[in-house]
Structures are given as C-alpha cells and as structure tokens.
A and B are shown apart, each in its own frame.
Chain A
Amino acid sequence: MEFEMSIKASPRELDAIRGHAARDYPNECCGILLGREVDRAKEVSEAVPLKNLRTEPDKAQAVLPLEAPGRESERNRFLIDPLEQLKVEKDARARGLDVVGYYHSHPDHPARPSNYDRDHAWPWYSYLIISVERGKAGELLSWTLSEDRSRFDPESLEVRKPSSAA
C-alpha cells in the first residue's frame, strides 16, 4: 500500500487545466503538477502548462520514437520536452516544491488511461487525465500506476478551497 495516496488541487488549478485542454483541442495538451506531499496526500499548488513536443515531430522522434508515426500524432499522443521538464523541476525545487504528477488531455476520448499511457507511466506520480469532447473540457480524473505496472488505479481527487495566501 506504499503508493496509496490522494491528490488535492484548488479550483484555480483545475480550471487552468480545463482551459488549457480546451485551447489545445483537437491536439493533446500536457502539463506538470507542482506541490508537496503532506500526510499521504499530494497537494498541488501549481499546474504549469507545457508544450506537447509531438507538435514538433522531428524533435519528438529523437527523444522517444513513435512505433507507428502514420497513425500517431499530436492528436493522440503527447510527449513532454525533457529539457523543459528539467527547467520547471529545477525552478520548483528552488522554491521548495516537487513534481507530484502530470496532466494531459484525451481529445474526444474518455478520461481513462490507455495501454500507451500505462506503458509510459511511472509509479507514485498522479496522472490527471481530462476528456475534451468537441472542444469542450469534460471529465477530469486522477490515476496512479499500480506497483506491478499491470494497471492504473483511480486516485481520489479532492478539490480544496483556495488558500488565503495570494
């Protein structure tokens, strides 16, 4: 039960994710969740939008090649630029924040992980998936990879009140 945790985010972060997902439709969007682990809960304090590197196919192929580029594109795949990820992570670390997970959208698909999501997932992180139906942000769910990597388990996503600190 090492990895059984929950995630808490404020309406502001969740709205930012919804806005990003709708804006980037019909492409997949992606971003990073920064926060802290407190009492077995990941508390998200910032959702940082990142570029989907699949919109730059040559660069993306050099980082993580697609198996079927004819059928796979930025419409159904996302990849975070590791250098951008490293920079956000460094900046977060300097402010006492950790990477607690990532978000991405599923255009015209449910907010449920695919086999491709599972094959590329890491333990512990929260994977927030948002469904976008015809350009409109829909269901938003959080998932974590099971310890044996066989599946994703749903993770409790708690909407917390925005903190009084600006």
Chain B
Amino acid sequence: MSVKVIIPTPLRVYAGKKDAVEVEAGTVGEALSGLTSQYAELRRHLYTEDGKLRSFVNVYLNDEDIRFLQKEQTPLGANDVISIVPSIAGGTSLGCICS
C-alpha cells in the first residue's frame, strides 16, 4: 500500500528537495528501502555501511518509535505516516573543534 514518508529538513537536499515522499510498501523496512532506492544519496545518512539503521536516526510510525514496535518488520496500514526524526543531542566538553 502507499504510505507517506516525512523527510526532515537536513535530508531534503538528498530527496529531491521534497518534504515528503509517497512509497509503496508492506513494512517500515520496505518503505525505507523503497525511499533509498529512489534517492540513493539518502542511504548513507540513514544506514550504516553494514546496512543497519543509524543510531542517530529515529523512525516513527505515526506516533510510535519503531524500536518499540517490530522495528523494520513493523507492518503498515492504510494512511500510515512514517517520520524520519534525527536525534538531536549535544553538550559541553574540554575540546573545541570550531574553526
């Protein structure tokens, strides 16, 4: 079925500048692989080299984190919306790497 994947602002440049992409898929994993086959550059931002979702990338199906559902095997229903939510974290340390 067709689901919508919401693309966060920093990744839109790799997704044809779109804020959302419709893909045909039965599971969350299929939707993400459909998305990255359409927009190959997105792949390295979402997955590690060994094909795992990056830990700084949160994927939500509607309002649920897929880590607490069936991860990438989570089945999709009609009108589901997948959101890619970048982890936002930071803090102080001793070193400064600014230019």
Contact = CB atoms under 8 A, between A and B. Distances in A.
A, B co-complexed: yes
Interface residues of B, number: 27
B86 interface: yes
Contacts of B60: 82-83, 86
A85 B88 contact: yes
B91 A77 contact: yes
A117 B87 contact: no
Contacts of A115: 93, 95, 97
Interface residues of A, number: 47
Contact of B9 (A113, A125, A152, A154): A125
A24 B87 CA distance: 21
Contact of B92 (A76, A102, A151): A76
A25 interface: no
Q: Do most interface residues of chain A lie in helix, strand or loop, or is the interface mixed?
A: mixed
A99 B8 contact: yes
Given A110-B96, A122-B86, 13 more contacts: A76-B91, A77-B90, A80-B87, A83-B60, A89-B8, A99-B9, A112-B96, A113-B90, A114-B95, A120-B89, A122-B88, A143-B98, A154-B99
A64 B56 contact: yes
A125 B99 CA distance: 17
Nearest to B93: A114
Nearest to A100: B9
A72 interface: yes
Contacts of B56: 64, 120
Contacts of B10: 122-125
A124 B14 CA distance: 12
Nearest to A120: B89
B79 interface: no
Given A110-B96, A113-B96, A124-B13, A64 B89 contact: yes
A67 to B, nearest CB: 12
